């Protein structure tokens, strides 16, 4: 059982491929890597964006924008069937593993929540705390480009920080890490360990990870997924079509960790399934905040002020 002591925290970056569009098998893989992270003394383990059950790589190569396409309807229905419903207990074993090892987890999921009717999909970043409780579910504020064909826009409910040892940790999905106000909302809540999750692309993590670290004077963990053509499979007609249209490499990783001065602690790792483990020290945050604290001594709230709506958005309020 891992325990955080003083200013130190051991973190795990799980760069893995999903069992693509297979929720149960992918969650088994997540559980396996969670156990490995616990064995290596981690107090936090992070998995990539949309890992369960996988990123919608078919859209770009199969005419995803074609209206009323039978192929797109078929794949979307399968995607929705394999999505995560927290209300159905799909993350129960992962939560139990977190509680058993006193280990926090950030997990990228495609969520099909009942509070929005149970049919639309959201790209969600789930934080499970060391007691096994789901402490926040952040639904991606704005899906990027073709993602909008299958994912719905989220809300601000999950823009929250969580105390973990000496740190306050929070996270964002993929390109919303580029949103200055989303980052500022987390900085203002005391974030000093930022988690950025990605489907898997070196060009995304290589620059922005260090940039966020320098801007916030925080540690920044970027965790990406992997996907190769061979991972798609061919056990259905639509999988054969997607496999035939896919590039050899669809997601090449790029998981990395930068310190609060922007230096690499773990440089980007390309095209390899691996659990990366590092120890970070909260005192380094304090050292770097000496000359820049974006929500503290370097802020001007009398001039610049941000308002954040953290209500969970619903289309109906029912009174019985």
29, 49, 176, 215: which one is catalytic?
Answer: 49
Residue with tokens 């799909």: 90
With beta carbons less than 8 A apart as the criterion, state whether 12 and 45 touch. yes
Q: Are 231 and 20 in contact (CB under 8 A)?
A: yes
Residue with tokens 């797109």: 72
Closest CA to 239 of 19, 17, 48: 19
How far is 159 from 241, CA to CA, in rounded Å?
Answer: 38
Q: Is 174 a catalytic residue?
A: yes
CA distance 131 to 184: 28
Q: Which of 42, 109, 123, 174 is catalytic?
A: 174
CA geometry: angle 71, 72, 78, nearest 5 deg:
95
Q: Is 256 a catalytic residue?
A: no
Q: How many CA atoms lie within 13 A of 314 on its CB side?
A: 10
The single residue of 111, 140, 147, 288 carrying the catalytic annotation is: 140
Q: For residue 224, which of 249, 256, 246, 183 has the smallest C-alpha distance?
A: 256
Where helices occur in 11-151 by DSSP H, the ranges are 23-39, 58-61, 70-82, 92-101
Catalytic annotation on 140?
yes
Could you list the active site residues?
49, 140, 174
């Amino acid at each position: 059982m891992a325990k955080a002591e003083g200013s130190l925290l051991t973190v795990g970056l799980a760069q893995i491929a999903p069992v693509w569009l297979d929720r149960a098998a992918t969650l088994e893989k997540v559980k396996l890597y969670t156990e490995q992270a616990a064995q290596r003394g981690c107090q936090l383990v992070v998995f990539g964006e949309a890992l369960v059950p996988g990123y919608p790589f078919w859209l770009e190569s199969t005419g995803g924008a074609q209206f009323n396409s039978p192929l797109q309807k078929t794949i979307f229905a399968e995607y929705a069937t394999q999505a995560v419903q927290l209300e159905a207990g799909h993350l129960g074993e992962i939560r139990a593993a977190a509680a058993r090892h006193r280990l926090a987890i950030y997990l990228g999921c495609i969520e099909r929540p009942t509070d929005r009717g149970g049919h639309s999909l959201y790209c969600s970043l789930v934080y499970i705390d060391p007691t096994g409780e789901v402490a926040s579910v952040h639904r991606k504020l704005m899906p990027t480009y073709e993602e909008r064909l299958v994912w719905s826009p989220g809300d601000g409910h999950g823009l929250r920080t969580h105390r973990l040892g000496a740190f306050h940790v929070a996270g964002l999905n993929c390109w919303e890490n580029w949103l200055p106000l989303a980052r500022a909302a987390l900085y203002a809540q005391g974030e000093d360990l930022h988690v950025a999750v990605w489907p898997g692309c070196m060009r995304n993590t290589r620059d922005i990870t260090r940039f966020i670290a320098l801007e916030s004077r925080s540690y920044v963990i970027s965790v990406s997924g992997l996907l190769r053509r061979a991972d798609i499979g061919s056990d259905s007609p639509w999988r054969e079509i997607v496999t035939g249209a896919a590039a050899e490499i669809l997601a090449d990783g790029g998981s990395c960790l930068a310190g609060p001065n922007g230096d690499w602690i773990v440089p980007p790792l390309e095209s390899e399934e691996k659990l990366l483990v590092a120890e970070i020290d909260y005192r380094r945050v304090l050292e770097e905040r000496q000359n820049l604290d974006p929500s503290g001594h370097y802020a001007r709230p009398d001039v610049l002020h941000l308002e954040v709506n953290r209500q969970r958005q619903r289309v109906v309020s029912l009174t019985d």
